[in-house]
Amino acid sequence: MDRFVLEGGVPLTGEVRVSGAKNAVLPLLAVSLLFREPVHLTNVPRVRDTFTMIELLRLLGAEVQWDDAHTLTIRAEHLKSVRAPYDIVRKMRASIYVLGPLLVREGHAEVSLPGGCAFGPRPVNFHLEGLKRMGAQVDLEEGYILAHHQGLHGAEIAFDRTSVGATAHLMMVASTIPEETVIYNAAKEPEVQTLGRFLREAGAQIHGLGTDTLRIHGTPELSPPETFRVLSDRIEAGTFAVAAAITHGRVRILDVTPDLLPSVLPKLQAAGAQVTVGKNWIEVQGPADRPRPVDLETAPFPGFPTDMQAQFMALMTVADGSSIIREGIYPDRFKHAYELVRMGADIRVEGDTALVRGVPELKGAPVMASDLRASAALVLAGLVAKGKTEIHRIYHLDRGYEDFEKKLAALGAKIRRVSE
């Protein structure tokens, strides 16, 4: 099992280009099952979750081909199965995205209840209740979702709370129904908007992208766009921005739209970093001294993203003062806090809130990653810690960051991957 070994204390400098977004490509790969024509995607990130989704598509009968390092062609003209098995689905919650396209395409589907990062309950009931409202019959049996229909129809769907996954999933299905579907309390995240733009180019009428009400009038005659570029990864960009700040470095982050980080960049500025933006780049210069303490609360887009909470906590561990971090999306997403404490951080977790008292320095230690973003937070802490840090279970990080250690090393970080 691979691990990272880091020596802290080096300010990061230079330029880094972010990859395509994991959270954008996964629904695009799944929705390709709707089409008998080839789907061509560019800017595809080569991360573990991408490969897991490709494995699932191939198992279902799709042909998936890498045309170059970051371009995929998916041909799903002939499917051979409607069953997404536990052995694959347990690796990644986004596997549930294939349920809707299979249901539309074949009239029935069998998908294992999903797995993924181990923090907090993230039930799929919003997905299933939405499908039921559109006319599907859904049952749970021996750990599998069994769905079938004898005709889908438009519906009004109101989520009790915002769900990125359910919004994307139900938008796929609604785009094939020649009646209006309305989704209230819909997610506004850029990755959801990206899927919506793809479906609009494919022929669906979708109004309200970027708002909390989506109106979708679909068509069974969808046809994929000639090519479609995957959105660049705003969370990877945010991670490198925090890396520059925590190491007192200066990093220009390329191929990212600053508008995708409307709440992260102001928080970095409040912490003392200098932030400069261009049309498709962000430059962050870390504070000369210890960061200033900053409070934050995670919230749906355009609020502070839950996927940046762990990284920002790492920055606050060395702030000159105390900060309060409230997790408003997944209240249990604080496992990284206990590993940061092993490195000398002063953090107290109470329910959905963490009190972080900044310390003058962190010290290297052996730590263990518990999920994707926790992995990134531990790397950031290791970049500034005194001495050697070993981070175990980095397979979590490989799910969503492409060549992370290579990109950091190119900026001057003393980091290497060790295979056992």
CB-CB contact of 414 with 6 (8 Å):
yes
The CA distance from 41 to 32, in Å, is 10
Which of 141, 132, 137 shows the shortest CA–CA distance to 169? 132
Strand residues in 166-318 grouped as ranges (E): 180-184, 205-207, 213-217, 228-229, 250-254, 274-277, 281-285, 296-297
Which of 295, 230, 302 shows the shortest CA–CA distance to 263? 302
The CA distance from 71 to 337, in Å, is 37
Instruction: Give the three-state DSSP class for 28.
Output: helix
- Which two tokens mark 207? 């109004």
117 is catalytic: yes
Which residue in the block uniquely carries the two structure tokens 């802490």? 381
CB-CB contact of 352 with 299 (8 Å):
no
Is the preceding omega at residue 302 within 30 degrees of 0, hence cis? yes
CB-CB contact of 251 with 284 (8 Å):
yes
Q: What residues does 182 pair with on adjacent strands?
A: 156, 215
CB-CB contact of 67 with 134 (8 Å):
no
Instruction: Give the three-state DSSP class for 411.
Output: coil
| Size of the chain, expressed as the number of residues it contains | 420
CB-CB contact of 323 with 317 (8 Å):
no
Annotated active-site residue in 62, 92, 117, 134: 117
The CA distance from 334 to 352, in Å, is 8
Q: Which active-site residues does the annotation give?
A: 117
